[in-house]
A and B are shown apart, each in its own frame.
Chain A
Amino acid sequence: MRDETDNGNPRSTARIFGHPIHPMLIPFPVAFFIGAFVTDIIYTQTAYLMWQYFSIWLITAGLIMGGLAAVFGFIDYFGNRRIRALRPATPHMLLNLLAMILSLVNAFVHSRDGWQAVVPTGIILSGIVVLILLVSAWLGGSMVYRHGAAVVE
């Protein structure tokens, strides 16, 4: 299989009708994990349990959609050495992996009962994950907007 597009950019392996799948999925975990941090903040201000339960569902949804995004991200990463060779690719992958692992731990923390589901460990983990995602999403963006990963024209 060719590892570049017609105009010479690195090509995505996991595609549907010519569009790469990984970038279609990645907004979901990013939005879910940021949402969980927001609902954690509101819970600490209100002690109203609904917000805490929003957080755990958002983290769970983030893990599921993030897991799916990771599958297609790995296919692209390991499926094409030119993708792998892009400077942001490896840090992007490692940071996302770290965010997923921390979020998995965070899901267990958020499954505690009451205040200790969020304060202090839960909200700290939620905040760290948001910071990591800011960096790793920026790196992912660089791969497309600067290095033209999977860009056809």
Chain B
Amino acid sequence: MTRALSLLALVLALAACSDPKFDESSQLGPDPKLPDPKAYLLPPINVAPGEGWKNGATPKIAPGLRIQALATGLHHPRNVYVLPNGDILAVQAKSPPSEPVKRPKDLIFGIVKSKATKFPGSPDAESRITLIRDANGDGKPELQVTLLDHLNSPFGVVWIDGFLYVANTDAIVRYPFTPGQTSITAPGQVLTELPGGPIDHHWTKSLTVSPDGQRLYATVGSNSNIVENGFEAEKNRAAVWEIDRATGRSRVFAGGLRNPNSPNFYPGTNTLWVVVNERDELGPHLVPDYLTSVKEGGFYGWPYSYYGQHLDPRVKPQRPDLVARAIKPDYALGSHVAALGLTFYTGTSLPAHYRGGAFIGEHGSWDRYTPSGYKVVFVPFANGRPSGKAEEVVGGFLNMDNGKSLGRPVGVAIDKTGALLIADDVGNTIWRVTAAAPAT
């Protein structure tokens, strides 16, 4: 019995230890340092329970900027989108029903992770889209109204040519809509079905439209960390889909992207970019999440390999043919930061430094002791390519005193005044970042 107790003590001691020392900045950029994969008895877990913003507290901001809440009291806002007339859509979502339990581990992980999504007394998540109107752009909305309710775990939304397209977790649905409208009464029409439940592990389906307006691009995340639900459950997943807007016909545009989100065309080009969440449980410093351009027909490794030809020891049978052509992604963002939001800065009101670069919402880590992410970063671009180190723009989402999260950033967008909008799903807030002084 004493042995059992001492083993228990050992397990607890392991749980209390910290990540090995590592230069985090070596995993920012095109050539991340990749330590050897580890296998754990107890993978490092540090989930930040939600706390919420109290007494007017706000995230911390880089010099030269100012942050204010645009809308509060939302119901788990995951994404934010700006319509051509400047109206702002806040996409809120409930997670789909939890997937079937396969292993005792799934029960335990389910309980542990559920603490991170909300805090006691916070509004319940709803699957709805709220329209926010700030016509004079002063950051104080005149109108906040529910546009669509009782959706099926939506994330992506895009407007083009008289239709509002909503990416629910199981389908792209379109609604006839003219910007300026503040309600939608017409029923939605399914354009294209997407892989949903009963197993729907990475359920956020995000959306964008091609520069010519003809095709939609939807992201479909993998159905597991590393194929725990079998290969059949991964069919057409871990991919970016291309959808013909006229017919709804779809095909896989690129694959091997574990959990891609927030597809965006770089302004003025036909190059599609996406942020991707890489795999867990290989160690605190593996595998870095990334920002990458997506080539048609490209394969980016998951599940067989990462960053090109680094084999994942957990995957059997392997596919050397696919690994051989696995593309190394363009730009590493750091391990387990959980990059979910991406937008390119097309405005002019923020300092000139930000023009043409990428803002990225990092939801924050759970699979390591030292938290990573929990911030919005900026990656400078030159000639349509990343051109420097990622830097923190908005932080302070974690309360370092008690390890709880005040909020967690997800989707990002640029409003019609050129301000940066951030959906905060634990803080139930849309944040608006403007220049501290008018841009020069």
| Chain B associates with chain A | yes
| Chain A interface (Cβ < 8 Å from any Cβ of B) | 47, 49, 53, 56-57, 60, 74, 97, 100-101, 104-105, 107-109, 111-117, 121
Contact A97 B4 (CB under 8 A): yes
How many residues on chain B are close to A (CB under 8 Å)? 27
| Residue picked from A57, A115, A117, A121, most chain B C-beta under 10 Å | A115
Pick from A56, A101, A116: contact of B103, CB below 8 A. A56
A93 to chain B, nearest CB (A): 10
Complex contacts, B7 vs chain A, CB 8 Å: 101, 104-105
Interface string of B312-323 (1 = CB under 8 A from A): 111111000000
Name the one of B4, B41, B226 contacting A114, with C-beta atoms under 8 angstroms: B226
Name which residue of chain B comes closest to A115, CB basis. Answer: B316
Residues in A with CB closer than 8 Å to B42 are 108
A56-B104, A115-B313 are known; give 14 further A-B pairs, CB within 8 A: A47-B316, A49-B229, A57-B103, A60-B104, A97-B1, A97-B3, A101-B3, A101-B7, A113-B224, A113-B314, A115-B315, A116-B313, A117-B314, A121-B39
Chain B positions within 8 Å of A116 at CB level: 39, 313-314
Determine which residue in A101, A104, A114, A121 has the highest number of CB atoms from chain B within 10 A of its CB, and name it.
A114
- Determine the residue in chain B with the shortest Cβ distance to A108: B41
Q: Is B314 a contact partner of A57 (Cβ separation < 8 A)? A: no
Interface of B is mostly: loop
Q: Is B228 positioned at the interface, with any CB of A under 8 Å from its CB?
A: yes
* Contact bitstring B68-79, A, C-beta under 8 A = 1, else 0: 000000000000
CA distance A108 to B10 in the complex (A): 13
Nearest chain-B residue to A112 (Cβ)? B39
Cα separation A105 to B315 with both chains bound (whole Å): 22
Specify which of B4, B104, B229 is in contact with A100 (CB 8 Å cutoff).
B4
Q: How far is the CB of A75 from chain B (nearest CB, A)?
A: 13
Q: Tell me whether A49 and B230 are in contact (CB under 8 A).
A: yes
18 CB < 8 A contacts A-B: A49-B227, A56-B103, A57-B104, A74-B1, A97-B4, A100-B4, A101-B7, A104-B7, A108-B11, A108-B41, A111-B105, A112-B40, A112-B314, A113-B225, A114-B226, A114-B227, A114-B314, A114-B315
B281 at the interface (CB under 8 A from A): yes
Given B3, B4, B228, which contacts A113 in the complex, CB threshold below 8 Å?
B228
Contact residues of A: prevailing secondary structure: helix
Q: Are B228 and A114 in contact (CB under 8 A)?
A: yes
Contact with A along B4-39 (1 / 0, CB 8 A): 100100010000000000000000000000000001
| Chain A nearest Cβ from B9, distance in angstroms | 13
Chain B residue numbers with a CB within 8 Å of A115 are 313-316
CA of A12 to CA of B25, assembled, Å = 65
Contacts of B230 in A (CB 8 A): 49
Across-interface contacts of B39 in A (CB, < 8 A): 112, 116, 121
Give, as a whole number of angstroms, the nearest-CB distance from A43 to chain B: 10
Rounded to whole angstroms, the CA-CA distance of A107 and B317 in the bound complex is: 23
B331 to chain A, nearest CB (A): 26
Residues of chain A lying within 8 A (CB to CB) of residue B227: 49, 113-114
Segment 101-117 of B: residues with Cβ below 8 Å from A: 102-105
CB within 8 Å of A: which of B209-228?
A: 224-228
Residues of A within 8 Å of B40, CB to CB, are 112
Q: Are A114 and B316 in contact (CB under 8 A)?
A: yes
Per the bound structure, the CA–CA distance linking A57 and B103 in Å amounts to 7
Min CB gap A19→B, angstroms: 25
Interface string of B40-58 (1 = CB under 8 A from A): 1110000000000000000
- A105 partner, pick from B41, B102, B105, B313, beta carbons under 8 A: B41
Asked whether A111 lies within 8 Å of B103 as measured between CB atoms, the reply is yes
